[in-house]
Structure 1
Amino acid sequence: MGTRDRIIDAAEQAIHQFGISGATTKRIAQEAGCSEALLYKHFAGKEQLFLAVLLERMPALGPALTRLRRDVGQGDVAANLTAFTTTALEFYARAMAVAGGVLGDPPLLAGFRKMLAEAGIGPHLPIEALADILRAEQAAGRIEAGIDADAAASLLMGACFHRANLACFVDHLGDDHAWAATIVDTLVRR
C-alpha cells in the first residue's frame, strides 16, 4: 500500500475514532507512519484529505449510478432502484462522521465548499444523475410519466440521508433492504 493510501486510511480511522476536530494532521500522519510534511505533499489541506476519504473509502455512488444508468430499460426497475437505494443509504451512513464534522466547523466547511465549487463536484450531482436516470426509465415506459423525476430523486436521496442520520441516534431501525424496497415502491409505483 502506498503512502497516499495509508494517509487516507489513517484519516478515515481518525475521523471515526476522534471526530473531525480530533482528526488532526499530526495524528493522521503519525497513524500513517509518515511526517506531516509528507502528508501535505499528497494533500493540500484537511479539506482535500477528507474529500479523498469520502470519494475513495466510502461505498461509491458513482459506480452505483453507472450501473443504474447501464440497466435503464433492463431487468426489474424496482429491483435496480432498490439496489441503488441500499448503496446510497450505506454511503450516507458511512459519510455521516465526515459530513457532521465538516458542518460543525465553519472554517473547514468554507474551505470544503470552495474546494467542491472549484472542482465542479458536490452532493447535488448524484441527485441530478438519478433524476436523469428516472427520466430515461420514464421514456422507456417503466416508470409512470407523471412522476416528477427531479422530485423523486430528491425524495429518494433525502430519505437515505435522513435514515442514515436517524441511525446515529437509534439502535435499530429495521431491515435496510426492506426499507429501501418500500421507499422505491412508494416513489415509482405504477
Structure 2
Amino acid sequence: MSHGPSAPLSGGALTRSRILDAAAALMTNVGLAHTTTKQIAREAGCSEAALYKHFRSKEEIFVRVLHERVPQFSETLAELPERAGDERGPAEHLRDVTLAALRFYRRSFPIAASLFASPELLATHRRKLDELGAVGPQNAGQHLAAYLAAEQKLGRLAAAADPYAMANLLIGACFHRAFLDLFFAGEAPEGALRPADEEEFATETVRALLGGTGV
C-alpha cells in the first residue's frame, strides 16, 4: 500500500540533511583534509554549535556522507548471500553488484582520496568506523565471496573457482574503471574506455569473470 510522498524535512532533521549535503559537496570539491567543520556549517547555513548537536566530529560527518549521500554498495552486498539459488541467477546478481560498485567508487573516490595523504587522518577514520559500527572496505569482498561460495555449493558456479579471487577480480575491475572515469572526466581518448557504456561494462565484465571459471 502506498503511503504517498515523504513529508518535507523540518527542524533538526532539515539542518542535519543540509549539513550532509554541504559536507558532501565540500569533500568532493576540495577534499576531506581541507574541509573544516566551520566551512561545512557556513555552507549549510548553520552555526558550528548547531553542527555539533548532530555530529561529534568531521570524521563522523564523513562516514555519514558515505552512508547517506553516496550510491549504496554495502547494502547491495549484505543482502546478496540470501539470494543464492534464486531465479535470477549469478550473472544477473553480479551485474547488479558491478553497477552498484562502479557508481559507489565513482562517487566516493573524490571524497575519500585525501584520506591517504594523511596517515593520521586515515587512522582517525578507521577508529571512527569502529566506534560507529560502520562497515569497512574489506566487507565488500567478504560479502561477495560468501554469495559466490553459496552459489558454488548449489552447483551454479564451477567447483574449482576460488570465491575470494573472483570477488577480488570483480571489485578490482570496478574500482579501476571508476578511477579511469574520474581521471578522464568525460574526455577519454577514443578506445581508452572499453566498453565505453557502463551497462555494457557490467555485462561484459561479468561475462568474462564467469567465462573464466568455466560456468
TM-score of the superposition, structure 2-length normalised? Answer: 0.82
The runs of 5 or more residues in structure 2 that have no matched partner are 1-8
Check if 1:51 corresponds to 2:77: no
Give SS of 1:40's match: helix
Counterpart among 183, 186, 189 of residue 169 in structure 1? 183
Sequence identity percentage: 43
Give SS of 1:169's match: helix
> CA offset at residue 17 of structure 1?
2.7
Check if 1:91 corresponds to 2:113: no
Q: What's 1:80 paired with?
A: 93
Which AA in structure 1 matches 2:83? D
Higher helix share: 1
Q: What's 1:27 paired with?
A: 39
The runs of 5 or more residues in structure 1 that have no matched partner are none
The within-5 A match list for 1:119-134 is 119=133, 121-134=135-148
> CA offset at residue 45 of structure 1?
1.1
8 A Cα contact 1:132 1:149, kept in partner: yes
Post-superposition Cα deviations, 1:107-166, rounded to whole Å, max 9, x if no partner, equal: 221210222244363100121011000001111211111110011111111111111112
Q: What's 1:146 paired with?
A: 160
Post-superposition Cα deviations, 1:13-52, rounded to whole Å, max 9, x if no partner, equal: 1122322234221111011111112212211211111111
8 A Cα contact 1:86 1:176, kept in partner: yes
Counterpart among 137, 149, 160 of residue 135 in structure 1? 149
Which AA in structure 2 matches 1:36? E
Q: What's 2:6 paired with?
A: none
The within-5 A match list for 1:109-128 is 109-118=122-131, 119=133, 121-128=135-142
- Higher Rg of the two aligned structures: 2
8 A Cα contact 1:147 1:188, kept in partner: no
Q: What is the number of residues matched between the two proteins? A: 190
> CA offset at residue 95 of structure 1?
0.3
Give SS of 1:58's match: coil
Counterpart among 16, 23, 42 of residue 28 in structure 2? 16
8 A Cα contact 2:90 2:156, kept in partner: yes
- The CA distance in 1 between the partners of 2:112 and 2:27, in whole Å, is 11
